[in-house]
């Protein structure tokens, strides 16, 4: 685990943080009880990316739903008006 991320070495990270955060091939975060393996770190990264992507998709879908609700209200209003107009014409010619 000399290279956690391509191009960043463990000694460089320890120099930046000022602490010995790597032990037994695990990354120890100060407030956490156990260390993280490289696979867990990678998994956390992908979960964060997925979360961001899903939030963006959710926002776009909400916008689409709002647009469709406006269209549905318009067509409902048109249907009511046309049915009333048809009823009036039917009564006029009977």
Residue 32 — very low, low, confident or very high, per pLDDT cuts 50/70/90?
A: confident
> Is the confidence at residue 49, as pLDDT, over 60?
yes
Is the pLDDT at 10 greater than 60? The verdict is: yes
Model confidence pTM above 0.95: no
| Residues 67, 53: Cα–Cα separation, whole Å | 22
Residues 6+ away with beta carbon under 8 Å from 80: none
Confidence (pLDDT) at 1: 47
What sign does the CA torsion over 14, 19, 21, 22 have? positive
Look at the chain and report how many structural domains it folds into: 1
The CA dihedral of 8, 2, 16, 42, to the nearest 10 degrees, is 70
For the cut 50, the answer to whether the pLDDT of residue 30 exceeds it is: yes
Residue 49 lies in domain: 3-93
């Amino acid at each position: 685990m000399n290279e956690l991320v391509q191009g960043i070495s463990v000694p460089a990270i320890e120099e930046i943080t000022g602490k010995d955060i790597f032990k037994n091939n695990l990354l120890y975060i100060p407030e956490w009880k156990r260390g993280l393996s490289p696979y867990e770190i990678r998994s956390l990264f992908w979960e964060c990316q997925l979360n961001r992507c899903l939030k963006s998709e959710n926002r776009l879908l909400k916008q689409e739903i709002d647009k469709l609700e406006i269209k549905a209200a318009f067509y409902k209003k048109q249907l009511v008006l046309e049915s009333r107009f048809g009823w009036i014409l039917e009564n006029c010619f009977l």
